[in-house]
Structure 1
Amino acid sequence: MQTIQASEFKSRCLALMDDVARSGEVLVVTKNGRPVAELRPYSGGKQGSPFGLHSGLEITGDILSPVEEDDWKVLE
């Protein structure tokens, strides 16, 4: 991950935006040596679906109906 000082980023902002869009690499902007922001390529606003994140997960039974109290085992 490439880093750049905020003062240099300010003077080269538009060219850096073009570089990031072309290369796809993330650019970290620092201020006083500490990271403060990241410039990354636009992803189209897609966050992705949470479905399919857990491979091998299998849902069995009825997950839509209310649960009866007798179905729960409470540890005391």
Structure 2
Amino acid sequence: MVVRVSKSQFKAKALELFREIEATGEPLIVTDHGEPKLEIRRLDRKHRNPLDLLKGSVQRYDNPFEPVGVADWDALK
């Protein structure tokens, strides 16, 4: 369930509301005169650095400073 608070309530309890969003993951809607204006939600870190995904994937590389030829790529075979 999405929680709604007015701007004045948000201003008075911002830190408390931030902690609650972090803990529960539930978004918060901030309203102005009853109309939704902002959505505050926990940051989703699904998008990781591509280099982190590749870390540890190279099992062995004998000559790292030698040029790689077209015939050396398994993907092209």
TM superposition score normalised by structure 1? 0.57
* Runs (5+) with no aligned partner, structure 1: 48-76
Query: Where do residues 1-76 of structure 1 align in structure 2 (5 Å cutoff)?
Result: 1-44=2-45, 46=47
Percent identical pairs in the alignment equals 30
Structure 1 stretches of 4+ moved >4 Å:
none
Q: Compute the RMSD of aligned alpha carbons.
A: 1.7
AA of the residue aligned to 1:41: R
Shift of 1:45: 7.2
> Across the two proteins, how many residue pairs are aligned to each other?
47
- Post-superposition CA distance 1:2-52 (Å, at most 9, x none): 1000100001001100000000001000000000001101113739xxxxx
Match of 1:56 in 2: none
Comparing both structures, which one devotes a greater share of its residues to helix? 2
TM superposition score normalised by structure 2? 0.56
